[in-house]
């Protein structure tokens, strides 16, 4: 039996890691039923230090050890933010991004993504104004004999109303506090104001480095915000061990639902851009970028290095695998799910309803080496006009 180790880095998600095991097991069952396969998924086990949750999937002569690298505790410390911190931080961050030209750069590279992100921030600012207007209207209802003293109550009443409105928009379809706080984290990280991240990435790098030689191939999957965190991790691995990936165990990075320019376009993120450029040169590790033009929470227009204002040292790196929504779900489900942005963002991690379309579970548990797919895509020049070409 051949073996594979997959290190999965989730995005900005406060949920327990067992949620991902449940998703993997459920979707593996669907993949197996639709494709006539046998995929057995073991129960998950947390490591003694609590930094990983791991389980094994067996299918078609391949044992895949799937290791979720945990950072949901860091997410929980930043989401949800205290309401007062969010109220102070949003105007200051938007001013910095507008003044630096970031907003127009992001719109150019990912207009759908920027529409969602800045649209959600516009909703948050509108909620502030609505709260002030409602509080002012309540003050006007006070008897004339009490005026102007009720005006003193406007700020605390408006703040209380804002807190309630933000709570009401926490879930679908708007996810206002989640996306606002995710944005705050991303740009704090860009500016070096998230010091808790570096030790966690160092720990992840040590784990990945230690896996070399333990399986026939090593795969690192970075979803959403971990598309850029995964690059940081692998850059750390190569800094400590430049020969990693060249000693008989192929290593592949799979970015999926990528938002690399979200961080890389921030002028404060020079450290990340340096790591991205180094990784762009790192032929020791394969790189496969799975892109979906229908995912409004990813940025998928061009080479991620070029999108961040860098000259790609290798124009064919990463290899790009374009996935159309018809590869995954039927028209009826598209209409039902298309405005649930987070579900669509996770769709690439879920079972395909098509017997021949892209299927993440099939890819992670199947007999085809993932490093071979990345190499084949690179050699064939797999960059595609995703909007016009059918999915693979």
Residue predicted with more confidence, 338 or 99:
99
Rounded distance between C-alpha atoms, residue 277 and residue 280, angstroms: 5
- Residue 386: pLDDT band (50, 70, 90) is very low
* pTM over cut 0.85: yes
pLDDT tens profile 40-79:
999 999 999 999 999 999 999 999 999 999 999 999 999 9
* pLDDT, position 1: 86
Q: Which tens digits make up the pLDDT trace of 157-185?
A: 999 999 999 999 888 778 899 999 999 99
Closest to 69 (Cα-Cα) out of 259, 180, 210, 177: 210
CB-side neighbour CA atoms (13 Å) of 188: 17
Nearest to 290 by CA among 250, 254, 315: 254
What is the SS3 assignment for 350? Answer: coil
Residues in CB range of 329: below 8 A, 6 or more apart: 337, 347, 352, 353
Task: Return the pLDDT at 377.
Answer: 63
pLDDT value, residue 152: 86
Over its C-alpha atoms, the chain yields an Rg (Å, rounded) of 23
Residue where the block lists tokens 């032929």:
283
What are 16's two structure tokens?
């327990």
User: Residue 385 pLDDT more than 70?
Assistant: no
d(C-alpha 53, C-alpha 21), whole Å: 8
- Positive/negative CA dihedral, 224, 228, 233, 234: positive
**Chain-centroid distance, C-alpha 221:** 10
At 124-153, the pLDDT tens digits run 999 999 999 999 999 888 877 767 777 889
Does residue 120 register a pLDDT over 90?
Answer: yes
């Amino acid at each position: 039996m051949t073996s594979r180790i997959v290190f999965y880095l989730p995005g900005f998600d406060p949920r327990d890691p067992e949620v991902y095991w449940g998703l993997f097991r459920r979707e593996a069952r669907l993949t197996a039923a639709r494709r006539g396969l046998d995929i057995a998924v073991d129960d998950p086990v947390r490591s003694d230090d609590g930094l990983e949750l791991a389980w094994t999937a067996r299918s078609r002569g391949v044992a895949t050890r799937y290791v979720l690298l945990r950072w949901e505790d860091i997410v929980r410390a930043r989401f949800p933010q205290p309401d007062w911190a969010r109220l102070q931080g949003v105007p200051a961050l938007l001013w910095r991004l507008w003044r630096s030209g970031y907003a127009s750069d992001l719109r150019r590279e990912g207009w759908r993504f920027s529409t969602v992100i800045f649209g959600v921030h516009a909703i948050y600012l509108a909620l502030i104004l609505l709260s002030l207007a409602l509080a002012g209207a309540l003050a006007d209802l006070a008897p004339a004999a009490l005026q102007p003293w009720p005006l003193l109550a406007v700020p605390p009443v408006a703040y209380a109303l804002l807190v309630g409105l933000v709570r009401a928009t926490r879930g679908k379809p708007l996810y206002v506090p989640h996306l606002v706080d995710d944005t705050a984290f991303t740009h704090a990280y860009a500016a070096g104001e998230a010091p808790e991240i570096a030790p966690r990435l160092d720990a992840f790098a040590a784990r990945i480095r230690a896996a070399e030689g333990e399986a026939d191939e090593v795969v690192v999957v970075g979803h959403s915000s971990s598309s850029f965190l995964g690059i940081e991790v692998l850059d750390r691995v190569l800094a400590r061990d430049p020969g990693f990936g060249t000693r008989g165990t192929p290593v592949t990075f799979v970015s999926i639902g990528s938002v690399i320019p979200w961080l890389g376009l921030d002028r404060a993120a020079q450290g990340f851009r340096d790591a991205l450029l180094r990784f762009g040169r790192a032929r020791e590790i394969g790189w496969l970028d799975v892109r979906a033009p229908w995912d409004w929470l990813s940025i998928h227009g061009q080479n991620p290095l070029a999108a961040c204002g860098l000259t790609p040292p290798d124009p064919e790196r990463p290899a790009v695998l374009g996935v159309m929504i018809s590869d995954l779900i039927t028209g009826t489900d598209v209409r039902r799910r298309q405005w649930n942005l987070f579900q669509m963002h996770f769709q690439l991690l879920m079972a395909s309803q098509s017997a021949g379309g892209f299927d993440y579970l099939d890819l992670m548990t199947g007999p085809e080496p993932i490093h071979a797919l990345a190499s084949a895509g690179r050699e064939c020049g797999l960059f595609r006009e995703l909007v016009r070409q059918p999915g693979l």
